[in-house]
Amino acid sequence: MNKKILLFLLIFLILIVPIIVYSAKGHNQSEFVRVDGIENFSSETVQGTGDYFLIYPRDLRVSQDFTLVKEVEKSGKVIRKYKIFDEELSRMLPHQKPNNMNQLYISFFGDTAIDNYYFTYDIPKKSFEKVNVDYFNFDVGIDHLMHYGNDIILQTLVSHKTGDQNYNEKIGGYNVSISNATVKKSFETEYRHSPLFAPILNFEEKLIYGTTATLEKNDEYAEHGIAIVDLKNDSVRYENFGTKDIALIPLFSTSELAYILGENGKMYVYDQDFQYSTYEPFKNLPPQQYYDIYENGQLALDDHRILYCLRGIGEEERFSLGILNLEGEPNFQLFNADFANTEHWYEPLYQNIEEKEIYVKEMSNDKEGNHIIILDSESLKVKAKIPVDSNHLLDFIVKIN
């Protein structure tokens, strides 16, 4: 009888111990590593062993009061998770410019707080740093830092002169500000010429921003165009290139040229004397529904190439990822047929020069179509496609090793 009991206990232990160990491992894997402050988070401080960190910033709109980080392998397998507690961090909008490729400028959205700061991300060091903007008399709020040129240019949520948007119902429109953080000078935008959520060009000591159209009494939009701001004289002039009903978006600038893209598919290029030439970079494609930037659909790879998400062929929304080549006569070329005329849309995040990688979010209404695409920055071939969950909440990726 005793032998039967011992045999039964031995069999029981052989069966149950692996289950207990497996459950314990699963439990440990579901636990979170806590980090206080985004500036204390890097691949060195947390000693990650996976391939990438996927960063889902704090977003109170979905009841997430912390920044979630998933450490993953290229297959998408989650190695461990982190919770970063930092009230100054929310949904992120990273921006990279070719004359400073190792640094990203990070502004935020999705939070009602209006504060005078932004963050930078050092790509080689893999670390975040808060930058306080201390030259305003009011809390103006950083709307975004999408800009090109040598100086750091930002757009604010309210006017730097009053600390308010100064909405004028009689005239129509409101005021915010465009500011050069490098020289600490700002311009209050005029009524009926509020800025688009689009890049700002620092070109020939001027600032170029796109203006939001105003809805007229006849239900038609007016005041399309761009504004060219002279901060030295606190003056502005407007240009529409003869296209009164076409939205114009400042796209990119170098030391020699400034590129403006119209939603009609035409590109207007200023030289250093502010004389412009007109091009049709999409003329070899079928007619598109839209030509302008779709959400965060562009990334300047160098002084003459922009990774660009083109939206719309025919009546249905379709998307194509390609290269806007600005050398000589600007033209758009698809570089991979897999990304042409698809239902998926693409948001390039940034380019990692040291790793020779480009990170692109592939978005889809189909859950199976959500990925982070890793492109080789030289060949533009796909190195990896990482399947991700909740891609609409994912704003950033970090190479661990």
Q: Are 330 and 125 in contact (CB under 8 A)?
A: no
Predicted local confidence at residue 313, as pLDDT: 63
Predicted local confidence at residue 218, as pLDDT: 67
Q: Which residue has the tokens 């069966």?
A: 15
Which residues face 259 on adjacent strands? Answer: 252, 269
Q: Which residues of the chain have pLDDT under 70?
A: 1-30, 112, 215-222, 294, 313-316
Predicted local confidence at residue 216, as pLDDT: 67
**Chain mean pLDDT for the chain:** 88
Which residues face 384 on adjacent strands? Answer: 374
Beta-carbon count within 10 A of 305 CB: 18
Q: Spell out the residues 6+ positions from residue 288 whose beta carbon is closer than 8 angstroms to its own.
A: 265, 282, 310, 311, 312, 313
Predicted local confidence at residue 219, as pLDDT: 62
Which residues face 53 on adjacent strands? Answer: 71, 398
Please tell me the distance from the alpha carbon of residue 162 to that of residue 97, in angstroms, as a whole number. Answer: 31
Candidates 243, 61, 39; CA nearest to 129 is: 39
With 0-12 CB in 10 A as exposed, 13-18 as middle and 19+ as buried, what is 308?
buried
253-265 b/e (C-beta count within 10 Å ≥ 16 → b): bbeebbbbbbbbb
Predicted local confidence at residue 314, as pLDDT: 59
Predicted local confidence at residue 294, as pLDDT: 67
* The model's pTM: 0.89
Residue 34 has, within 13 A of its CA and on its CB side, a CA count of 2
Identify the helix (H) or strand (E) that includes residue 26.
Answer: helix 2-30
